[in-house]
Amino acid sequence: MEAAEHGTAKLRCEVEGEGQPIMRWMRNGQEVVPDGLRVFMDRDGIVLTIADVSVDDEGNYVCEAQSSSGYSQPISRTITLNILGKCQPTSRTITLNLLGKCQPTSRILFLKNLQKMLPSKFS
């Protein structure tokens, strides 16, 4: 399932059986608990709604349906949520204008990942 970043994702768990199942949603082994602000579950627990989704919400969601009688094994379904429109910068340009006089003359050194950066041929 795909959802746009900052959009709303509605994950629907389709199960069949006798009577009303008891539903539970999990993500990364942790139960998803509706908070009433961003994460909601319909009354039956069949639809999990996540508002204002972000890359942090991506992943595999497991819905588990248990017979209300409790006599059968739970049925589970996995729904993968992918977030569209996520961007990660691959490069960044920063321009610094340094003004001032120092005595003795100062040296400015730029580090990236604790490694000395060499002057760019484009500067």
**Exposure pattern of 24-47 as b/e (b: 16+ CB <10 Å)?**
bbebeeeebeeeeeeeebeeebbb
Q: What angle do CA 27, 31, 37 make, to 5 degrees?
A: 90
pLDDT confidence band for 57 (50 / 70 / 90) = very high
Domain ranges across the chain: 2-84
What pLDDT digit, counting tens, does each position of 96-122 carry?
A: 666 666 666 667 777 777 788 776 654
pLDDT score for 16: 72
pLDDT score for 91: 61
Task: Specify the pTM.
Answer: 0.65
CA distance linking residue 24 with residue 59, whole number of Å: 16
Task: Indicate the fold that domain 2-84 takes in CATH.
Answer: Immunoglobulin-like (2.60.40)
Residue 47 phi, psi dihedral angles, 5° rounding: -115, 125
Q: Is the pLDDT at 88 greater than 60, yes or no?
A: no
What pLDDT digit, counting tens, does each position of 6-49 carry?
A: 999 999 988 776 777 888 999 988 999 999 999 999 988 889 99
